[in-house]
Amino acid sequence: MLQHPKVKGPSVGLLGFSKGGDLCLSMASFLKGITATVVINACVANTIAPLRYKDMIIPHLSSDPGKYTITESGFFNLVDIWNNPLEEPNQESLIPLEKAQGPFLFIVGMDDHNWKSEFYAHVASERLQVHGKDRPQIICYPGTGHCIDPPYFPLCRASVHEVLGQPIFYGGESKAHSRAQVDAWQQIQTFFHKHLNGEKSVKPSKL
């Protein structure tokens, strides 16, 4: 990315959502040249599959699929299937955020039915502070579900999951979710402009 002609450098920022979020946390923790990381509704532990980097392996966070529930509409609610990453032996799946070079911004939908995103964001904050790092910026949006897209995308409360092949419930209430998308988009841009360009604000989006 740093060699791409469109990339200003000397560093890059990362933006990840859901599983992509914990991948970004891992990249920020192990790779050089990353000085700002934003994650949207993500876990603070490695998920889904083991992560291999050089001679190290971070196991995936274990789960109990039997703890899923089904909504009145027949959608799967997965928020309770994931085991607590703070409990043994799940601690081995925690991503060592304290190794990262730059700050973090956690965008949290408080009606996320895929991950306990608010809990994970606060776990990340406590871990960073225990290791003498600055606490991350955490922005929580009430009534907001899992899929926080850029502004004016329609609310996606449920869909057939590409990997699981099942109809999954994501949560979110239309009005609150839409407002969150607009605000989160501005917060993300402001964060990147501040930590990549040294600017404190960004002009409102015309999207």
Out of 111, 117, 122, 146, pick the active-site residue: 146
Q: Is 112 a residue of the active site? A: yes
Provide the 3-class DSSP secondary structure of residue 74.
coil
Give the residue from 39, 156, 46, 61 showing the smallest Cα distance to 108: 39
Q: Is 174 a residue of the active site? A: no
Residue 151: other Cβ atoms inside 10 A: 15
Q: Is 134 a residue of the active site? A: no
Out of 26, 112, 113, 125, pick the active-site residue: 112
Residue 67: other Cβ atoms inside 10 A: 13
Residue 117: other Cβ atoms inside 10 A: 29
3-state secondary structure string across 46-57: CCCCCEEECCEE
CB 76 within 8 A of CB 168: yes
| Catalytic residue annotation | 18, 112, 146
